[in-house]
Amino acid sequence: MKIASFNVNSVKARLNNLTQWLSETNPDVVCLQELKCVDEAFPREAIEDLGYNVAVHGQKTYNGVAILSKFPMEDVTPRLPGDDSDEQARYIEALISTGTTPIRVGGLYLPNGNPVHTEDGALHEKYTYKLAWMDRLIKHAEILLTLEEPFVLAGDYNIIPQAEDCHKPSAWKDDALFRQESRDKFRKLINLGLTDSFRACHTEPNRYTFWDYQAGAWQKDNGIRIDHLLLSPQAADMLSACDVDKEIRGREKPSDHVPIWIELDIPE
DNA sequence: ATGGTCGCCGAGCGA
């Protein structure tokens, strides 16, 4: 079973790019981020025509996440628990009925968190929101782990886990994507017992999932690895491959992110 | 390079 994550940076602007990639690579499950549209505006028919069930948690202009699945989905739950006042559409979860072992999939768009500081030097609310959101994700992962089932937390984490996951670490030193507090929260998630799929399959440095639109970042391979699929121990036991569809970034009208995917060997 | 580039929507923000 192939499970992918793709921050499309507007699903409407990216529809042709997205459907072409879906047709070519045929993933079973896809977590999408940054839809930038409400549920009613999601191009549902075009996706369903390719054989996917669709679960959307949209938002006007900002954020928005979805799960596409060739298998039926049960228990579809938008929102990350822990703060009922949070209106930002950044999380959706579903139980994927594979026919044998069900796989729980959480699709997430973790807050960017910049700027880190306000003008007077205090921590900016955007950064504290990011850290608080990560605390909620950690708590939720702890609860999912008690179920002792295979699950995948896939999405745009807006976290560069290590120096080797970016082109120029010094440029990111004080950025919300690389600051120590941010990376510590990500480590905390990993240390619960989750597996970073990409690092379980690859040791080489400088493999990226995002290249900025600005300043020729793509041409210079000035990228960062911020899209991740984290696995519960039961899912990690099924992991057979993980890779990044880098070539997508060089196509016409691309997203600034590219898809990352895993292959899970589900037992009969 | 206090710029650069996208996408939202129709000015300026978010990334």
Residue A237 known to be catalytic: no
Which nt has its C1' nearest the CA of A212?
B5
pLDDT of residue A19: 98
pLDDT of residue A163: 98
Residue A52 known to be catalytic: no
| Cα distance between the two ends of chain A | 12
Distance A197 CA to B5 C1' (A): 31
Domains of chain A (ranges, CATH numbers):
2-264 (3.60.10.10)
Looking at chain A, how many residues does it have? 268
Pair A47, A41: CB distance under 8 Å: no
Classify residue A79 by burial, with Cβ atoms within 10 Å: 0-12, 13-18, 19+: middle
Give the residue nearest to nucleotide B7 (CA to C1'). Answer: A10
Distance A97 CA to B13 C1' (A): 40
Distance A66 CA to B7 C1' (A): 18
CB under 8 Å to A180, separation ≥6 — which residues? Answer: none
pLDDT of residue A170: 96
Classify residue A81 by burial, with Cβ atoms within 10 Å: 0-12, 13-18, 19+: middle
Cα angle: A13, vertex A14, A15; to 5 degrees: 100
The dihedral sign for the CA sequence A186, A37, A50, A212? negative
**Residues of chain A with confidence (pLDDT) below 70:** none
pLDDT of residue A268: 84
